[in-house]
Amino acid sequence: MSFRVTILGATSAIPTKSKAPTAQIISSEQSSYLVDCGEGTQIQMRKYGVKMQRLEAIFISHMHGDHYFGLVGLLNSMSLLGREKTLKIFAPPLLQNIIELQFKAAKTKPKFKIEFRNLTFDQHIKIFEDNKIEVYTIPLDHRIPCNGFLFREKPLPLKIKKEKITQYAIPIEKIKAIKAGSDYQTENGKIIPNASLTIKPTAPHQYAFCSDTLYNEDIIPIIQNSELLYHEATFTNSEAQRASDTYHSTAAQAAAIAHKASVKKLILGHYSARYKNTDQHLSEAASIFENTHCARQGDVFITE
């Protein structure tokens, strides 16, 4: 099982006719999850064929508007379109009050249940899991409390060698225990080590989303060896001081994190509106970490 990351928006602060603020869809088989919800996210979802009613959960990194201003509109549309399934929203504590106030002012009540889960910002902890994936917080260093999110596939069981089932006449009811790591004892009492019966599965897929942050090496152990890393790159080197002053990162700093964390692929995003294109972002980052890509709305990245 792999993760499919669809970029709905990758600019910062001010949306334009051609650029939408931060929002991403992470898909896994038939389930999908929304990370951040900048203004116009529901329009971007329609544009790129994302089915909003399939959302299992929404994760909001922090309370700057370019990361959540699209949420109340999205929730309202989901209700109008007949959603009934409960939706979980993982977000800073203030967001629940904001959303509920907007619905109260409009004398509107969603037709589906919304479960708000308040986030903390100083710990790397698991906040969500289903039968396939786990989601963890990545504490970041921004002007206000901010998290990134680590999406990790649950470890797969060992694979049993089919020829060993025949060789040792292994009953069906014993296979589950063997896949969980147990040795097997034959009818005559011989112990067959698990290592000779099974094959290790592929490593779990992993995607790390790092929202607004200063350069922060504390996140490296958390995101280590991720197949995909999205890291904000609001500025280029010419604006390094401004990046520091506003608690953002440069493209080169994002690349340095990717290199030190031994990730496979780096995706840059959250560009300042001052840049007409991202050529300089890509040039500066690729000189440090070659496998770098600049996110564009509509881009799709897949863990592999």
**pLDDT tens per residue, range 277-298:** 999 999 999 999 999 999 999 9
Catalytic entry in 36, 66, 141, 299? 66
| Arithmetic mean of pLDDT over the chain | 94
| Over residues 228-238, mean pLDDT | 98
| Over residues 118-144, mean pLDDT | 96
**Whether the predicted model's global pTM rises above the 0.75 cut:** yes
Task: Return the sign of the alpha-carbon dihedral for residues 280, 227, 7, 137.
Answer: negative
* SS3 (DSSP) at 187: coil
Q: How far apart are the first and last CA of the chain?
A: 9
Q: What is the distance of C-alpha 198 from the center of its chain?
A: 31
| Phi and psi angles of residue 52, each rounded to the nearest 5 degrees, phi first | -65, -30
- Alpha helical stretches, state H, 30-142: 41-47, 71-80, 94-105
125 falls in which pLDDT band (50, 70, 90)? very high
Residue 250 amino acid letter: T
66 classed as catalytic: yes
Distance separating alpha carbons of residues 36 and 44, to the nearest angstrom: 13
Distance separating alpha carbons of residues 157 and 199, to the nearest angstrom: 9
**pLDDT tens per residue, range 163-213:** 888 888 898 898 899 888 899 898 888 998 998 888 888 888 999 999 999
**Do 81 and 53 form a contact (C-beta atoms < 8 A)?**
yes
Which residue reads 């881009």 in tokens?
Answer: 299
**159-160 vs 198-199, strand pairing mode:** antiparallel
**pLDDT tens per residue, range 65-83:** 999 999 999 999 999 999 9
pLDDT of residue 104: 96
Does the structure show a pLDDT above 80 at 1?
Answer: no
16 falls in which pLDDT band (50, 70, 90)? confident
pLDDT of residue 168: 85
Torsion of CA 194, 130, 44, 3, to 10 degrees: 0
**Do 20 and 40 form a contact (C-beta atoms < 8 A)?**
yes
pLDDT of residue 107: 95
20 falls in which pLDDT band (50, 70, 90)? very high
Write the DSSP symbol of residue 122: S
> In which region does residue 262 sit, left (phi positive, over 0), alpha (psi from -120 to 50) or beta (all else)?
left
